[in-house]
Amino acid sequence: MSNLDLVFKLAGLSMIITVIHLLLKQAGREDFAYLSLLAGVTIALLMVVPVIVELLSTVRSVFQLY
């Protein structure tokens, strides 16, 4: 998966989560709106963590750490 694909997936995820959050908040379900926001942030972090691990591995190999 290229980094550009990841950017588009994160943008799509953020739009979907924003719509869900707004709908739930206007329906008076602030607790579920907050949980949907928290779930979206968690999913986004799970998508980004492998890229960060790869970046740190590259930095480690470039500077010959460990």
The pLDDT of residue 1: 62
Q: Is the pLDDT of residue 10 over 90?
A: yes
pLDDT given at position 66: 67
d(C-alpha 3, C-alpha 56), whole Å? 15
Chain segment 35-46, per-residue pLDDT in tens: 999 999 999 999
Q: Could you state, in order of their start, the residue ranges of all structural domains in the chain?
A: 3-62
The CA distance from 63 to 58, in Å, is 9
